[in-house]
Structure 1
Amino acid sequence: MNQKICYVCGKEPLSKNEIGLTKKLINQKAKSFYCISCLAEELDVTVEELQAKIEDFINDGCKLFS
């Protein structure tokens, strides 16, 4: 299986939620992905805020998240 890695820090493997966040917030057709920490830094938000967004997306039924 092709494991995804964070293209900023190299964290691997990325979770489905980390991949989903990159697709949802950056580019749905992304080929490079962020871990949650690097994405938070890129977007100038906290990891906790992104985790809350993940919960919102899950509650909304978004299939990119589990």
Structure 2
Amino acid sequence: MSKKYNCIACGKKNLDKDTIGVNKKLIDENVNTFYCMDCLADYLGCEVQDILDKIEEFKEEGCKLFS
């Protein structure tokens, strides 16, 4: 059973693997606390759609965090 992660800012429960992966990719691969998509967008000063677009790019590049 995989570990369940919650957003450190708003407390949203059970973040999905893409959300965990993009936190690791954009903040630090060794991070062990995570933001939900909305809070990550606020933290980075961008829109959620920008993050979703980057996730698709990372997947197309074969990034191991999104396999």
User: TM-score normalized by structure 1?
Assistant: 0.93
Q: Who is 2:34 aligned against? A: 33
Q: What percent of counterpart residues are identical?
A: 47
**Structure 1 residue 17: Cα displacement:** 0.7
Runs (4+) of structure 1 exceeding 4 A deviation are none
Superposition RMSD on alpha carbons, in Å?
Answer: 1.0
Do structure 1's residue 47 and structure 2's residue 48 form an aligned pair? yes
3-state SS of 1:40 partner: helix
Q: Distance in 2 between matches of 1:40 and 1:33?
A: 12
User: Gaps (5+ residues) in structure 1?
Assistant: none
User: Gaps (5+ residues) in structure 2?
Assistant: none
State how many pairs are aligned: 66
Q: Distance in 2 between matches of 1:24 and 1:35?
A: 14
Q: Who is 1:65 aligned against? A: 66
**Structure 1 residue 12: Cα displacement:** 1.1
User: TM-score normalized by structure 2?
Assistant: 0.92
